[in-house]
């Protein structure tokens, strides 16, 4: 009796790249690409209809950001492997939010076909695969700080963007949320850190992270 193949869904708004990705992953004899979507909303509909085992997801899509697509697919399929396959350079801005959704891996489109295939194999074996370049952006130090233990991934992302000098509007644009959501999270962050302003929050963040205050 033939074992069922692993079903992969590709969500990428570049048809040529999506087709090339399909040709690569279908070199694995146990894989079949069950669908290719060029929009996030199309990908969600395909995921709802076909139940993929693994999703290769670009972040830059014409209608929905990949983070929102990942959230919707995770709601539909708790066990699906969601793998971010992107050409974006500033992935660290979304890293904590993506990890909180439960992605299984992160692959840059610059990787070779061999690396892509090996990554897919490792993820299907149950491993989480992240490139070395993103580890420095993980909030490992936060675990040891009681003041930051209560913060969610989006709160940590907002803190980073605050330190870079972004306005509430810019933070909302970067994280694809409303300004009101940013304001609500800032209120929570201030309370959690025991501060009363952006400047104090940045200073506290710097001290905890041992970045140093000029």
- The domains located in the chain, with CATH, are 6-136 (3.40.50.2300), 139-208 (1.10.10.10)
Residue 42 reports pLDDT greater than 90 = yes
Q: What is the pLDDT of residue 87?
A: 87
DSSP code, position 102: T
State the pTM of this model: 0.65
Token pair for residue 199?
Answer: 């400047």
pLDDT(214) > 50:
no
Residue 138 has pLDDT above 60, yes or no: no
What HEC string does 69-94 produce?
HHHHHHHHCCCCEEEEEECCCCCHHH
User: Which one, of 137, 140, 153, 55, lies nearest residue 97 by Cα?
Assistant: 153
CB 149, CB 88: distance < 8 Å:
no
Q: How confident is the model at residue 2 (pLDDT cuts 50, 70, 90)?
A: very low
Low-confidence winner among 51-60, 118-127, 130-139, 172-181 (lowest mean pLDDT): 130-139
Question: Mean pLDDT throughout 158-186?
Answer: 89
How far out from the chain centre does Cα 73 lie? 13
Q: What sign has the CA pseudo-torsion 118, 121, 127, 130? A: positive
**Sign of the CA dihedral with 81 first, then 41, 63, and 22 last:** positive
CA–centroid distance for 50 within its chain = 22
Helix, strand, coil percent content, the chain, rounded in steps of 5: 55, 15, 35
């Amino acid at each position: 009796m033939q074992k069922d193949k692993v079903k992969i869904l590709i969500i990428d708004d570049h048809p040529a790249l999506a087709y090339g990705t399909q040709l690569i992953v279908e070199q694995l004899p146990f894989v079949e690409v069950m669908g290719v979507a060029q929009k996030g909303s199309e990908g969600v509909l395909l995921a709802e209809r076909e139940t993929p085992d693994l999703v290769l997801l670009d972040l830059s899509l014409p209608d929905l950001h990949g983070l929102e697509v990942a959230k919707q697919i995770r709601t539909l399929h708790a066990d699906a492997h969601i793998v971010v396959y992107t050409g974006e350079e500033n992935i660290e801005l979304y890293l904590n939010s993506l990890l909180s959704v439960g992605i299984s891996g992160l692959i840059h489109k610059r990787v070779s076909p061999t690396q892509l295939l090996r990554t897919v194999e490792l993820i299907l074996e149950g491993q989480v695969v992240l490139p070395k370049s993103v580890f420095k952006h993980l909030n490992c130090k936060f675990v040891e700080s009681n003041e930051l233990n209560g913060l969610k991934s989006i709160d940590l992302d907002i803190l980073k963007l605050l330190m870079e000098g972004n306005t509430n509007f810019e933070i909302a644009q970067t994280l694809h949320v409303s300004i009101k959501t940013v304001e609500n999270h800032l209120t929570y962050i201030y309370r959690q850190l025991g501060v009363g302003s952006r400047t104090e929050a940045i200073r506290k963040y710097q001290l905890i992270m041992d970045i140093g205050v000029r």
